[in-house]
Amino acid sequence: MRAIRFGMRSLARDFRAGELAVLGAALIIAVASVTAIGFLTDRIGQAVALQAAEVLAADLRVSSPRPLDPARMETARKRGLQTARTLSFPSVVFSGDDSVLTAINAVSEGYPLRGQVRIAPALLSEPAIIDGVPARGDVWLDTAVLARLGIDTGAQVEVGASTFTVAAVLTYRPDQTPGFTGLAPALIMNIDDIEATGLLGQGSRVSHAQLFAGSREQIRALAADIAPELPASARLRDRGDAGRELNDAISRAGRFLALASLVSLLLAAVAIAMSARRYAERRLDTAALMKSLGAPQRFVVISSLTQIVVIGIVAGLLGAFVGFGAERALSVVLSGLLRGDLPVPSARPLALGFGTALILLAGFALPSVLRLSTTPPLRVLRRDLSPPPPGAFLTYGAALAALVLLIYWSVRDVTLLVIIVGGTAVTGLVLFLVGRLLITLLSRGRSRVGVAWRYGLANIARRGSDSAIQVVAFGLGLMVLLILTLVRNDLLAGWRATLDTEAPNHFLINIQPDERAGVRDILVSNGLPAPEFVPLVRARMTRVDADAVGDRRFRSERGRRLAGRGANLTYAEQMSASNQLVAGVWWPAGYEGEPQVSVETEAARDMGVDIGNVLTFDIAGVQLTATVTSLREVEWDSFQPNFFMVFSPNSLRDYPKTFIASLKVPDDQRGALLKLVRTHPSVSVIDIEAVLDQVRQIIDKAALAVQSVFVFTLAAGLVVLFAAVQSTLDERRYESALLRTFGARRRTIFAGLAAEFIALGLAAGIFAALGASVVGGLAATQLFNLDYQLDPTLWLLGTLTGVVVVGLSGVLAAHGVVNTPPVRTLRAG
């Protein structure tokens, strides 16, 4: 108790004396940046999730081939959720004698709950966002339908028994992703008109959907309530499983954000460790004196710990407050750039920031503080005596544990955790070893340089491990800055380039075998490349080995759905470029043996299927049995036609099939598609530009977040640099006073200090570039599936920044050292 009281009382005094101020400032900036990044990533993560919800036009979507219980909508409304209802089914739209098979979408007031519908007043005119649904008696029709019918807005069309006026051209609706009923050109009508069309009779293929939107908690609760009572035919989807393409993109965006936020954690840790070391160094005399005056070790530790804990709490609160404020300012700037306002952040980042402060202190400050207790009391007589250094296990064990805990808390991704911790630890160790090596080399070479350099290099050599630690700190700080700027840009550019150059923007589906030549001719004659036709065979899986699919136990709900629903199969001689074999062997060219199938790895896992299993499919009443011989990883966001099941060509070749193709059609060549639709009415053209746009927007938002986050990380990095310089300030001041007393000119001392920091900066810069290259390469290949090429500017910028920033910091620090009158310093000593 006495120790706590003593610690508390001397807190204010120590703070006044500047001993705790450095630690406190480092902590506040660390927590502020972590909190601000946390808030921002949380908000942008939510914005990205909202974007994902567009695919469903809701946060939660229940769909079923049978009518759904209307009471559910009522319950949801009572709980404060927004609701809407849609009916979708294929039907033929007539205009005079012309007709087109169209996806009819009857929607209720409120649709879409997420995202917006865009319509244009006439063909080829500028579309605009529309708030609301078609009036009764009106329909909005897709460009493709209008083109095929040869009509424009204002015309009359017949749907079932009713006649409607085409009120607008439908250019975009949120839930039109492939995989939905909306593959065919679409029509939107008011749900109240549907009864009169008489199309809802027996045998119609209607998909009923209930749409819900609300807060995360509301949606979670509703989903939990709905799930158990849903009939087997119904499907419940939330934004989490809204489209594989978007899911992949969102998970990538999330990784970018996590990467950015943990960089500042690393910097914070370095800053805290340095300032805690300085704090402990400056308390050595007091600790020795207290012990000589009769204080037990416990007293020294508890009084210091009290100070650390109090400063942790205060700095944690202040930092979280500053972080929140900074984020508010930032989101004002960002809100103009993002569509819609950023959602309100959750409180998690506050806990993250505050917890960060305490965990960082425990991991990085505690070893230094505990070391105080072993200060020999004899130090009061012999000032050169220091406590033994803390054990390596305590120092590094505590730091590593804290770091792993914080990084995992922040990223919640084990792969990323391992890569980052591994990359950082290896770089740190290499930096330390090379730092020591450099110092040894420098101390040998200093007889060949002038007095200033000799003084500077002697300083580096004399501080041995300390200099190496500074190289490590500078190096690590610089490394993460490099990762954030150059490596991030390279990764982002690489990824976007993949999407831009390779991703098709249109799918052609339902191409009959004999139509292939005609389709190819139209495209080629209009200057488009000849498409690759991918066969598609509709089937249903009936058995896995001897088990009937219906009786089989699946590891997950997704597995049951995948196995139970109608499947699109294909066959191929060679594996598609967007696929990668992860297990087994692909069949050889010209293979004519027993049927083989290659399964997408996640689908295989969910269905509990592995190499060697025999799958049986029902294809239009005929049974096909094939052995699983390989597993593939699929890049779904390549937007190439991809399949869960790919068969050896001989197994499927003779079954009834259609073909699909994907194309990249430049804007000015879209006319070719209209021509294609007219000459091949059964072929459906699906514009996936809108989906691509969504993905691009998500990338842009993520990039924007990372860039803003970079501002904070830069600030944190500078604090680390300054803390490192500060930690040697007392010693430097004393030396400078001595040297000046002996007649050294200020300029000489100045040059010596600059030389020292330039040398340190150079070493740190070189190894930061090395570390950034390694981590960047790992991230590119392991996380983002991109080819990574070594960037020479990384090295140039790394060393240059090291020399300039570290040199400049040194000179800035030296400024104060040289200007202190020697007499004052010597007297104080």
- Compute, in degrees rounded to 10, the torsion defined by CA atoms 518, 520, 526, 531: 160
Q: Which is nearer to other proteins, 382 or 448 (CB)?
A: 382
Distance of closest approach, residue 286 Cβ to other proteins, in angstroms:
5
In angstroms, give the least distance from the CB of 324 to other proteins.
33
Task: Give the binding-site size for other proteins (rule: CB under 8 A).
Answer: 28
Q: Please give the Cα distance from 141 to 98 (Å, whole number).
A: 15
- Contact call for residues 420 and 275 (beta carbons, < 8 A): no
Q: Choose one: 361-369, 373-381, 475-483, 736-744; the region binding other proteins (CB under 8 A).
A: 373-381
Identify the residue among 314, 358, 380, 614 touching other proteins (CB under 8 A).
380
Nearer to other proteins, 610 or 730 (CB): 730
Least distance CB 362 / other proteins (angstroms): 24
For tokens 């087994």, the residue is 584
C-alpha–C-alpha distance, residues 686 and 684, integer Å: 6
Positions 561 through 620 that interact with other proteins (CB under 8 A)? none
* 9/77 with CB nearer other proteins: 9
Dihedral, CA of residue 819, residue 822, residue 823 and residue 828, to nearest 10 = 90
* Comparison of 380 and 404: residue with beta carbon closer to other proteins: 380
Sequence-distant (≥ 6) Cβ neighbours of residue 209 within 8 angstroms:
61, 62, 63, 64, 68, 85, 86, 87, 88
Q: Which is nearer to other proteins, 10 or 576 (CB)?
A: 10
Distance CA 591, CA 573 (A): 8
Closest contact distance (angstroms) between CB of 446 and other proteins is 22
Count the Cβ atoms, other than its own, within 10 Å of residue 319: 26
Beta bridge partners of 92: 101
Among 123, 129, 381, 804, binds other proteins (CB under 8 A): 381
**Contacts with other proteins in 465-504 (CB under 8 A)?**
none
Among residues 381 and 437, whose Cβ is nearest to other proteins?
381
Stretch of 201-209, 372-380, 390-398, 521-529 contacting other proteins, by CB under 8 A: 372-380
- Is the distance from CB of 52 to CB of 219 less than 8 angstroms? no
Residue 355 found at the interface with other proteins (CB under 8 A): no
CB-nearer residue toward other proteins: 298 or 462:
298
**33-58 burial, b for 16+ CB within 10 Å, e for fewer?**
bbbbbbbbbbbbbbbbbbbbbbbbbb
Nearer to other proteins, 373 or 629 (CB): 373
* Strand, coil or helix: 177: coil
- Of the ranges 63-71, 379-387, 401-409, 607-615, which one interacts with other proteins (CB under 8 A)? 379-387
H-type alpha helices, 79-215: 143-149, 194-197
Shortest spacing between CB 823 and other proteins, in angstroms: 14
Task: Decide whether 14 or 193 has the Cβ nearer to other proteins.
Answer: 14
Closest to other proteins by CB, 16 or 136:
16
13 binds other proteins (CB under 8 A): yes
Residue 283 Cβ vs other proteins, minimum distance, rounded to whole Å: 10
Q: Is 6 in the site for other proteins (CB under 8 A)?
A: yes
User: In the bound complex, what is the minimum distance in angstroms from residue 458's beta carbon to other proteins?
Assistant: 20
Backbone angles phi, psi at 392, to 5 degrees: -60, -35
As a whole number of angstroms, the distance between CA 619 and CA 621 comes to 5
Looking at the Cβ atoms of 13 and 653, the one nearer to other proteins is 13
DSSP state of 180: B
Q: Which of 80, 217, 382, 546 binds other proteins (CB under 8 A)?
A: 382
CB crowding 478-488: b at 16 or more within 10 Å, else e: bbbbbbbbbbb
Phi-psi region of 791 (alpha: psi -120 to 50; beta: other; left: phi over 0): beta
Q: Which is nearer to other proteins, 236 or 380 (CB)?
A: 380
Taking the C-alpha atoms of residue 273 and residue 259, their distance in angstroms, rounded to an integer, is 21
Find tokens 């749907």 and name the residue. Answer: 159
The conformation of residue 565, written as its DSSP 8-state character, comes to S
> Residues 94, 141: contact at Cβ < 8 Å?
no
CB-facing half-sphere around the CA of 332: CA atoms within 13 A: 5
Q: How far is the CB of 495 from other proteins (least distance, A)?
A: 54
Contact between 337 and other proteins (CB under 8 A)?
no
Query: Which of 65, 343, 376, 608: binder of other proteins (CB under 8 A)?
Result: 376
Residue 106, burial from CB neighbour count under 10 angstroms (0-12, 13-18, 19+)? buried
**Part of the chain binding other proteins (CB under 8 A), chosen from 13-21, 54-62, 154-162, 656-664:** 13-21
Region at 577 (left for phi over 0; alpha for psi -120 to 50; beta for the rest): alpha
Binding of other proteins at residue 10 (CB under 8 A)? yes
- Minimal distance, residue 316 CB to other proteins, in Å: 24
Pick the closer one to other proteins by CB: 67 or 829. Answer: 829
Please list every residue from 89 through 118 that binds other proteins, using CB under 8 A: none
Max Cα distance, the chain (Å): 109
| Residue (20 or 764) nearer to other proteins, CB | 20
Smallest separation (angstroms) from other proteins to the CB of 816: 18
Q: Pairing state of beta strands 534-544 and 684-687?
A: unpaired
Alpha carbons 37 and 313: distance in angstroms, whole number: 20
CB atoms within 10 A of CB 79: 13
91 contacts 82 by C-beta, under 8 angstroms: no
Binding range to other proteins, per CB under 8 A, among 378-386, 399-407, 431-439, 755-763: 378-386
Query: Closest separation between CB of residue 730 and other proteins, Å?
Result: 12
Minimum CB–partner distance for residue 717 and other proteins (Å):
31
Please answer whether residues 259 and 779 qualify as being in contact, where contact means their C-beta atoms are separated by less than 8 angstroms: yes
- Which residue's CB is nearer to other proteins, number 201 or number 294? 294
**Position 19 contacts other proteins (CB under 8 A):** yes
Q: Footprint of other proteins on residues 219-258 (CB under 8 A)?
A: none
Q: How far is the CB of 297 from other proteins (least distance, A)?
A: 6
Per-residue contact string for residues 769-808; x = within reach of other proteins by CB under 8 A: ----------------------------------------
Nearer to other proteins, 369 or 775 (CB): 369
377 binds other proteins (CB under 8 A): yes
Residue 723 C-beta: closest distance to other proteins, Å: 21
Q: Judged by CB, which is closer to other proteins: 290, or 716?
A: 290
CB of 827 to other proteins, least distance (A): 9
CB of 381 to other proteins, least distance (A): 5
From the CB of 12, what's the least distance to other proteins, in Å? 9
d(CA 527, CA 521): 10
Report the candidate in 509, 571, 511, 567 with the shortest Cα–Cα distance to residue 538: 567
Minimal distance in Å, beta carbon 14 to other proteins?
5
H, E, C per residue of 59-114: CEEEEECCCCCHHHHHHHHHCCCEEEEEEEEEEEEEECCEEEEEEEEEECCCCCCC
Beta carbon nearer to other proteins, 285 or 341: 285
**Cis, peptide link before residue 595, omega less than 30° from 0:** no
Beta bridge partners of 622: 619
Ramachandran region, residue 134 (left: φ > 0; alpha: ψ -120 to 50; beta: rest): beta
Pick the stretch among 16-24, 197-205, 349-357, 566-574 that binds other proteins (CB under 8 A). 16-24
**219 close to 212: Cβ distance less than 8 angstroms:** yes
Site for other proteins in 254-313 (CB under 8 A): 285-286, 289-299
Binding residues for other proteins, per CB under 8 A? Answer: 2, 6, 10, 13-14, 16-17, 19, 285-286, 289-299, 376-378, 380-382, 828
